[in-house]
């Protein structure tokens, strides 16, 4: 019995050793697999290798990468950066400057020739030929300057100024033809005629211009106005560009009829321009009171001096 028990115990020990060795092998395999998985998770996923780009694509890609880096450093959107980025400056040498000068001279000459052709066509509605119209223009500019107190009446022909005078004269004649009777235009309708022409003077200004234009002759006391005199009055009160009247004494800016950069603001008030807004009466009152106070202070300072 003892010998049998010893044999059974020995066989059980051998079996236990075999199971223990198998367990240790299984634990080693599990630890190795876990280490391999951890390494794979830590490593970044590499893209699959594709076809190699050519030399042109490499340069384009490098430029785009540089631009992207600049954008990341600067901050704005890529489209805004591309719009406002610095461009390569043109190299200006004598040849390029000469080419630019010749091109500008050709374009300017072409524009002036076209303007001259246009003026010659328009001159036929004012006189027999261009020479007669230029003489008429000279005489009228001389009269306007003399009435406004300018003694230097020397004129240099400028096609742009001549064309502006011809266009205004034609427009005034058309407006006069719409209002005149078979004898002419009545003096009481002068204000309406001026308004039709796009000008808004006061009745006092019209009377002053009437006295300037009709200094001599029986027409001063006439109630009928001819086309020639009406256009003379318009050009005297509103001189053409050729007269070079920068400070017109006869036409001054007032509160009710302001003039901004030579343009009458009363036109927008009459026509109801959408840009106009109703003024705040408090702001207007403060502005008027301040101007009156400043005027009184200037008057007192002059009296003290």
The top-scoring range by mean pLDDT among 111-125, 136-150, 195-209, 250-264 is 111-125
Q: How many CB atoms lie within 10 A of CB 48?
A: 5
> What was the pLDDT predicted at 1?
45
pLDDT of residue 61: 58
Question: 21-30, 117-126, 155-164, 204-213: lowest mean pLDDT where?
Answer: 21-30
Q: Which of 288, 290, 292, 267 is nearest to 279 (CA)?
A: 288
Judged against a pLDDT cut of 70, whether residue 89 lies above it is answered with no
The Cα–Cα gap between 176 and 235 comes to: 14
Residue 6: is its pLDDT beyond 60?
Answer: no
pLDDT computed for residue 169 by the predictor:
92
Put simply, whether the predicted model's pTM sits higher than 0.85 gets the answer no
Q: Is 237 exposed, middle or buried (0-12, 13-18, 19+ CB in 10 A)?
A: buried
Residue 191 has pLDDT above 90, yes or no: no
Render pLDDT for 213-247 as a digit per residue (tens, 0 to 9): 877 665 666 778 888 888 998 998 888 888 887 77
pLDDT band at 94 (very low <50, low <70, confident <90, very high): confident
Average pLDDT over residues 198-215: 84
Task: Collapse the DSSP code of 153 into the 3-class scheme (helix H, G, I; strand E, B; otherwise coil) and give the result.
Answer: coil
| pLDDT computed for residue 9 by the predictor | 46
What percent of the chain stands above pLDDT 70?
63
């Amino acid at each position: 019995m003892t010998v049998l028990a010893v044999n059974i115990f020995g066989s059980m020990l051998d079996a236990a050793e075999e199971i223990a060795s198998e367990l240790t092998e299984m634990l080693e395999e599990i630890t190795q697999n876990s280490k391999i998985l951890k390494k794979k998770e830590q490593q970044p996923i590499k893209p699959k290798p594709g076809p190699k780009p050519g030399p042109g694509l490499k340069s384009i890609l490098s430029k785009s990468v540089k631009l992207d880096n600049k954008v990341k450093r600067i901050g704005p959107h890529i489209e805004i950066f591309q719009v406002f980025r610095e461009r390569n400056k043109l190299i200006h040498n004598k040849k390029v400057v000469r080419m630019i000068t010749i091109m500008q001279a050709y374009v300017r000459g072409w524009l002036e020739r076209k303007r001259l052709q246009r003026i010659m066509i328009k001159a036929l509605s004012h006189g027999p030929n261009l020479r007669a119209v230029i003489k008429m223009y000279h005489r009228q500019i001389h009269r306007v300057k003399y009435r406004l107190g300018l003694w230097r009446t020397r004129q240099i022909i400028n096609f742009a100024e001549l064309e502006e005078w011809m266009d205004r004269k034609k427009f005034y004649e058309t407006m006069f033809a719409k209002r005149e009777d078979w004898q002419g235009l009545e003096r009481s309708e002068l204000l309406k005629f001026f308004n039709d022409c796009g000008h808004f003077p006061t009745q006092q200004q019209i009377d002053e211009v009437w006295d300037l234009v009709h200094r001599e002759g029986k027409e001063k006391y006439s109630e009928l106005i001819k086309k020639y005199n009406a256009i003379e009055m318009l050009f005297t009160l509103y001189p053409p560009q050729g007269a070079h009247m920068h400070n017109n004494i006869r036409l001054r800016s007032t509160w009710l009829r302001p003039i901004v950069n030579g343009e009458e603001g009363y036109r927008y008030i009459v026509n109801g321009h959408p840009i106009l807004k109703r003024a705040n009466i408090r702001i207007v009152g403060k502005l008027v009171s301040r101007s009156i106070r400043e005027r009184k202070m200037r008057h007192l300072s002059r009296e003290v001096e």
